[in-house]
Structures are given as structure tokens and as C-alpha cells.
Structure 1
């Protein structure tokens, strides 16, 4: 085993859009393990939109990413050395190993993974944090009944793609919103949504009305801006909104809400949520998601970049909507 490994640190904070020069690739020495620690070789790194918010030095639900330290990020990998009684060499684990080839852990927050029926990479997507985000928003906030309609923005992404499929399994009508014919085709033909609207198509309002003729009973919102406004305008009385993300404002842009009167007129329930604040639900949710994946009832797609050095460009691509499904970096 080499006595060094590579990591990527945040070298400077963004002023607007994220650029590659904000990151720095470093080679650092492998530390000696203390009693109670284990060493993980990361196989895959998860890239997620929340990372953009953590790059700013601003008050939020979580502390900012420190400068000159390993970028935060979820990983899955293999234990290659252990001085911890609960983990042994060869165990596969999910961790917050960050943008790095290796990670040292004391075992806190680690989750052992069974790769016999679920591929290792899926534990960063459909059976990981994105899948749990979809599960929680649908089951604990939207609480839709069979026959009702859910509208899902960023429907081809890691979270949105799961929301629509879970809604269909509940007997709901699933309407997605995505960017471009290719993504919309994937959402309908592969994921099984009833319809998908291309927000770049030129008539978002008219297209959404055609896709949801009986109105919308639940919105799973990942984007904000005109997409959210248009969906709100189609809501039925007492509709619910699970506010998951606001991609439209990740670079600090203002996000006006023009349909704000609808919140009162339709007596809308709107709730923002951070899935890591609801860890009590994770065992149930992850078990259900894993069973659905193993049974072939939950489909997913991954966009995978190769090598740690590719992470900054892959992350920028994620923020610009270039990926389909879950964005990963393959490290091994």
C-alpha cells in the first residue's frame, strides 16, 4: 500500500459560479491508525448540489466547508486496515470520506453495506441520501393518496427520479419537469412517469396544464424560480409542497415567487426539509429502497466521471444540469 494518497481541498470561496480554480489537488501522507480507527479506500465519491451551499461562508443549516481542508462528500469504499473492533478488512462501508482516495474513520456514522443484491455505487444514490430524500419528502410531507398527482422538478436527477417512481408505486400520477427532450424521454420511457414537461420547450405553463389536467396535489420542488411558480399555479386546494432544493439560486441569485397568492388561495402546506435531520427514518427508508432495487422495481441511472482529478469539472457539470441520474466519481 502506498504511504500517500490524493485529496481535493477547497482553495477559495466562489464569487458566483463555481470554477475549477477554486479547488486544489494535493498529495498527502497516509496517517498511522490509532486504536479504534480504520482506513477506507474510497471506491466512489458522491457529488451533490448541497455542496455548493457549503462552499459559501454564510449562515445556513450546516457549517461552511473550511478552506484548505478536504471537500465534504459522501463515499462508499472498502476497509483496507482496521484497529476497530466492529470493522474488519474487506468490509464495504458508506461514509463521509470527502473528495479523497482514502479516509480514516473512528467508525462513527459508518454504515456497513451488503453488495450481494445492491451494487456498491447505488448506496450513494437510490439507496443513499438522494433516495432517502425522495422517500422522506414523499412519505412524510406530501402523503399523497392513490389517484392524486405529484409534480417533480429536476425529474431526471438522483432525487427526482426516485420520487416519481415511488409515487407510481403508490398509485399516483407522476408528472416530471426536466431540461431537454432526452431527459424527458428517459423520465417517461425508463422511469415510468405519466408525463414529463421540458421547461426549455417554450410553453411551460401550457405544457404543464396538458400534463396535469386535473391539477397538482403535491409538488416535490428541487429547482425554484419559474419552474416552481408554474407548478404552484396548477395546484389544487390543500396541495402540499416538499421543498427540497433551490438549484436556481445556488450561485446567490434572487429567486422571486410570483405565484405567492396561490399559497393562500389554495391553502397550501409548504415545508422545507433537510433529510439528515431525520435519521430516525433512515433504517426503514433504506430497507424499503434496497428491497425495491434488488427486486428491479426501482430503476436508476448514474453519470460517472473517472478519477479524483475529474471531480471539480463533474461538480460544475452537475450544477449546470449536464448529468442524468446520480453524479459519481469513480476512484478505484
Structure 2
């Protein structure tokens, strides 16, 4: 059987573009014992995937030139030679960017679309939700009355971080890149204040105004100038979960910024980087609590959905120009 797939055509230097991707045809292998044939219904595109386009050591192996890209997906099972998974099941896992795939069943997890929309298992009940849950609660340790600042606040992770911080009784300040996102975060997701970093004449002062008592927890999704401005407002004994650095993902040179170590040292600040896989043993706990908050109406969610398998490269590039609000999803 022949399927369409999207491969990495060349490693990008700086910002990826259409030439980074190539559409190919591939022939699927026959199913072996333990395999399933799946047809993706939804693909997730995420900023971390940009790092995998570089030939550099990281917490996940790089994509290989000429080989299909891959990421989180929800798929329908068309055929199964594996125990515990049957044709007609809905599953989630890391899948190649292909219209169909033969994969080992052990890497898949069955989901129940009657509990939540299927795409939510790529967002609020998937990697972004778990990232927000563990990063904020385990590292940030927000306490009632504290001020929590979230950069990339309108992204898939940021929206959830802000709402969990509100559940924990905190004052929540977001940082986003458009007036529409500012309005959305305040009116629909309960943020107390939101700073538009693109229009603020002095970002450090704008954050100080939004955080009159300083910053106790900074959930850092972006790095760069935004994080420099937040850290200048950091409080004694603050905590900084270091989740993402999207400001640097497409740079060709390492930019020079303020030396933040003196501020971290003299204010006894904890900064800790993490990836969600660090908490894999506790994923069940996270999904259970996130689902409860969703069902109780305490957590709301939004997605940016682009339709069509061919739109996967476009959706990925859109992450770096802020085209998404909440999770970026491609519906096949």
C-alpha cells in the first residue's frame, strides 16, 4: 500500500521555510505480530520539533534528512495484530507525518473520545497539559496570593499554566504578542493582567506595573528579551520553571543578553529546566486531575485547527509567527 508522507528535505539555517519539507510516497510494510495499521485524524505541531531539525544532541534524537518528520497524533486503528487494540479503536502516540502508518502497538495508548474531544488528548489532556501541570506545581510551587507570570501565555502550555495558577489562588499575569490575545486571556481564561510585549515601550516597566508586588513564579516559555524583563522584576525566593526558549529556536548565533546569575544568586531564586518526560511515572495523576478540572469547568481550552494533511508544514511555521492561540492542531 502506498501512502503520502512529509520528510525533512534539508536542515534549516535559521527560520524553516517551505523548502525545509518535501512530500514523498512510501510503501507500507506488512503487519507483523504486535503491529497495528493506523490512519491519523489529528496531528500536533509543537515548538520542540524545530530543535529536532538540527543535527545536535538533545533529549530526543534529531530528525534525519530524507526521513519523515513525526510528532504527537490521534489516529484511528484500521487493522490490528496486537493484543488489547482492535480495529475501530482510537489511539494516541508519536507517529510519522504520513497518511497511514504501520507501528508497534506498544507505543500507542487507547483514548476515549466520549470523555473529551479527541484532539484534547494532544492538548489539555496530553503533552501541553501535563507540561503545565507538572512544571507549575512541582517546580513553581505557587502559593495563594503570589504573583505568577507566564510568557507565551496564549500558547498551548501558557493558557493552562495561567488557569492552574488561578485555581491555586494566585494573581496571574500573562505576556502575549497581540491585543486580541490580551483580550482573550483576560476575558475567557481569567488572567488578571496581560502585557503585549510587542507594543510595550519599556517591557521591564510594563511588567513592573502589572506586578506591583513583584514576580514570585515565572513560567518561562520563550526566553530572550521577554525573560530578561521578567527576571528584573523577580522576588526573593522566586521559582522559575524553564519550559521553552522559542526566542532562540531559529537563531543562527547565540545572542548576548543580561547576565542573570547575579540576580538569581542575590535573590535566592530557583531556576530549573525540565521536560515533561521527566514526570512520565506520574502521567496518570496529571491526566486525572486535568480531566477533573475540565469537567468541573475550572479549566477551559482553545485550539487553532488547520485542516488538511498538506497543511502540516504551514501549521508548523505558523508557530513561530504567533498564528496559534492555544494548541496548534492539524485535522487530517
**In the alignment, which residue of structure 2 is the partner of 1:58?**
56
Structure 2 CA distance, aligned partners of 1:100 and 1:212? 46
**In the alignment, which residue of structure 2 is the partner of 1:226?**
225
Structure 1 CA distance, aligned partners of 2:281 and 2:288? 13
Contact 1:14 1:56 in 2 (8 A): yes
Contact 2:47 2:319 in 1 (8 A): yes
Structure 1 CA distance, aligned partners of 2:65 and 2:216? 43
**In the alignment, which residue of structure 2 is the partner of 1:214?**
213
**In the alignment, which residue of structure 2 is the partner of 1:258?**
258
Contact 1:150 1:174 in 2 (8 A): yes
Counterpart selection for 1:174 from 172, 175, 182: 172
Contact 2:28 2:101 in 1 (8 A): no
**In the alignment, which residue of structure 2 is the partner of 1:140?**
138
TM norm structure 1: 0.96
Contact 1:152 1:160 in 2 (8 A): yes
Alpha-carbon shift at residue 254 of structure 1 (Å): 2.1
Aligned length: 329
Deviations 1:1-22 (A, max 9, x none): xx32211010110011101111
Alpha-carbon shift at residue 251 of structure 1 (Å): 1.3
Contact 1:7 1:308 in 2 (8 A): no
TM norm structure 2: 0.96
Deviations 1:223-261 (A, max 9, x none): 111110111111110100000010110013424341512
Alpha-carbon shift at residue 73 of structure 1 (Å): 0.6
Structure 1 CA distance, aligned partners of 2:58 and 2:83? 36
Structure 2 CA distance, aligned partners of 1:241 and 1:214? 17
Name structure 2 gaps, 5 residues minimum. Answer: none
**In the alignment, which residue of structure 1 is the partner of 2:281?**
280
Contact 1:224 1:255 in 2 (8 A): no
For residues 10-159 of structure 1, the aligned pairs below 5 Å read 10-159=8-157
Q: Does residue 327 of structure 2 align to residue 329 of structure 1?
A: no
Contact 1:224 1:245 in 2 (8 A): yes
Structure 1 residue ranges (4+ consecutive) displaced by more than 4 angstroms after TM superposition: none
Contact 2:44 2:328 in 1 (8 A): yes
Contact 1:118 1:293 in 2 (8 A): no
Deviations 1:120-163 (A, max 9, x none): 00110111001111011111101111111110000000000000
Q: Does residue 292 of structure 2 align to residue 291 of structure 1?
A: yes
Structure 1 CA distance, aligned partners of 2:72 and 2:132? 17
Contact 1:229 1:259 in 2 (8 A): no
Which range moves more in the overlay, 313-322 or 103-112?
103-112
